[in-house]
Amino acid sequence: MLPELHSILNLLEGGFSRLRVLVVGDLMLDRYIMGEVERISPEAPVPVFRHAHRYERPGGAANVAMNLAGLGCQTFLAGFWGSDHDQAELAALLQAANVDTRGVVSSTLPTTSKTRIVGRTQQMLRLDIESREAPPEVELERLLERAAELTGKMHAVILSDYAKGALTQKICAAVIAAARAGGIPVLVDPKTRDFGKYAGATTVCPNLNELSVATGVPSDDMAGLLAAAQGLLVQHGFDYMTVTLSEKGIRILSPEGTYHSPSRAREVFDVSGAGDTVIATLAAGIAGGLKRESAVELANVAAGIVVGKVGTVPIATHEIVAELTPSSGLGAGEKILDRERLVQRVAEWRASGESIVFTNGCFDLLHVGHITLLEDCRRFGSKLVLGLNADSSVCRLKGPTRPIVGEKERARVMAALAAVDAVVLFEEDTPMELILSILPDVLVKGGDYTIDTVVGHQEVIAAGGRVEIVPTVAGFSTTNLVKKLSTLG
């Protein structure tokens, strides 16, 4: 179980939307041309690549911004792009993701692009279009002004350095100074040998190779490398350093000690953009008030998801929620939701291909009939939502002596069951409003009902769902238990 899981889920289910995060750095356009190689050319000893399809995605600092947007943050971007076809494609992709590009400066240099030729899942060739000239001084000054102006309005700032010329020492120093003066965390993804360029940043997030280049210690000397990193940490005034260790996970180095988060990747297809996902998720977590350890754990989960995809693919909240809330792994407290959070979680489950089952009841005194009903429900789908009558609703339906067990306690007991994925209380006499808010794929009730008497059956069926009636367990009911207990008294 992740630390601060409840806080993490709150952020994922809408909390990130209040956060403003600025990314300053090197923008790129990643282009993928997909196809197959079936023969060798008769003209020369080279493979013949047969084109199947192509697509474009924001890369570099723009991919960091896409990851933040995927998490739901209000995302701002500053950097350079040219006045060319690649710029138009990149701008359209960022606009579609609601990334604010007011900080981007139009340059006389071309938009940086990387075109990858991919045969099935194997990258065969990469074509880079970029300038090795430094941006003109007037353009650098314009970028500094825009980035500094935006910084003070943010909850976090990321410097995404791909060594393409946007992040000069002067710009880094100005952004870091403005952020730290406002108590705003600054996170850096470095691609230069001299980490002094980022002096005063909250954290720098190198991978092993980048750390090796910066320290001169071989990347296979883990102990020596981490010791040298501690020296850089003190030398340049970072609060802590966040080192990505490839398949070994992520480690935080700080003056107080270290914290290690093991890798969460199940299968690695492509590490392109994984560092962008890590720093974006880490920044969002820190800006959202998580402890650095919790933010790193969250970033590790996100990285484990994106490396299982081909190409530069940003993370999305529903993917993380699905990873953090397997049916048997979610704590009982995190399963109890209000209606707004339930709607959000159901949407995330659906986006991940889950099917939603709904049942409801008072569940006052839990008995074998209840357990059998819930186990039957799980046969019809992958996620079970339980609508639980609140105390006022139970009292109206069952009489003034009910419920015997209060709504908070009943919700906690039901959420502890492995068969249940979400519990939501409703005050009404029927769950109709609740059913309409999520329109489950399957609506389930016990054998004392018929399809026509199940509340919400028409609406669920009209939406393409179905209704299932499952047998009851004879002789078991809360009413019978209450009668039996009264005779014992």
Residue 460 confidence (pLDDT):
94
432 and 302 within one domain: no
Beta carbons within 8 Å of 4's beta carbon, 6+ residues apart: 290, 291, 294
Mean pLDDT within 21-34:
95
Residue 487 confidence (pLDDT):
64
340 and 316 within one domain: no
Residue 430 confidence (pLDDT):
95
209 and 171 within one domain: yes
CATH number at residue 131: 3.40.1190.20
Cα–Cα distance, 66 to 75 (Å, whole number):
8
Position 448 confidence tier, pLDDT thresholds 50, 70, 90? confident
Cα–Cα distance, 449 to 24 (Å, whole number):
60
Cα–Cα distance, 184 to 21 (Å, whole number):
10
382 and 305 within one domain: no
358 and 319 within one domain: no
pLDDT score of 416 more than 70:
yes
In degrees and rounded to multiples of 5, residue 159 shows phi and psi of: -100, 110
281 and 227 within one domain: yes
pLDDT score of 316 more than 70:
yes
**Chosen domain end from 303, 324, 345:** 324
pLDDT score of 317 more than 90:
no
Mean pLDDT within 193-203:
96
Tokens of 299: 């970033």
Residue 133 confidence (pLDDT):
94
Percent of the residues in the chain that have a pLDDT greater than 70, as a whole number: 91
Lowest mean pLDDT: which of 104-108, 244-248, 297-301, 396-400? 244-248
387 and 318 within one domain: no
Beta carbons within 8 Å of 463's beta carbon, 6+ residues apart: 439
Percent of the residues in the chain that have a pLDDT greater than 90, as a whole number: 65
pLDDT in tens, 455-467: 999 999 999 999 9
Cα–Cα distance, 210 to 191 (Å, whole number):
7
pLDDT in tens, 330-387: 666 678 998 888 988 888 888 777 899 999 999 988 888 889 899 999 889 999 999 9
Report whether 3 contacts 293 (CB < 8 A): yes
356 and 293 within one domain: no
Mean pLDDT within 82-99:
96
Lowest mean pLDDT: which of 268-277, 322-331, 426-435, 479-488? 479-488
Sheet holding 20-25, edge to edge: 100-106, 74-81, 20-25, 156-160, 186-189, 203-204, 240-244, 250-254, 257-261
65 and 151 within one domain: yes
**pLDDT, averaged across the chain:** 89
363 and 236 within one domain: no
pLDDT score of 328 more than 50:
no
Report whether 262 contacts 251 (CB < 8 A): no
Residue 477 confidence (pLDDT):
58
Measured from the Cβ of residue 382, the count of other Cβ atoms closer than 10 Å reads 15
Closest CA to 50 of 64, 36, 61: 36
**Chosen domain end from 298, 324, 350:** 324
Structural domain of 118: 5-324
Q: What is the count of structural domains for the chain?
A: 2
Q: Are β-strands 257-261 and 356-361 bridged in parallel, bridged antiparallel, or unpaired?
A: unpaired
**Chosen domain end from 305, 324, 343:** 324
Mean pLDDT within 161-176:
96
Closest CA to 229 of 173, 282, 238: 238
137 and 10 within one domain: yes
Residue 488 confidence (pLDDT):
58
Which residue did the predictor score with more confidence, 481 or 123? Answer: 123
Angle CA 476–482–483, to nearest 5:
90
CATH number at residue 466: 3.40.50.620
pLDDT score of 62 more than 90:
yes
Residue 391 confidence (pLDDT):
94
Catalogue the active-site residues.
Answer: 276
Tokens of 324: 């953090």
Q: Are β-strands 20-25 and 156-160 bridged in parallel, bridged antiparallel, or unpaired?
A: parallel
Closest CA to 426 of 396, 387, 395, 385: 387
177 and 87 within one domain: yes
Mean pLDDT within 36-55:
91
Tokens of 21: 């995060």
Residue 331 confidence (pLDDT):
63
Amino acid at 72: G
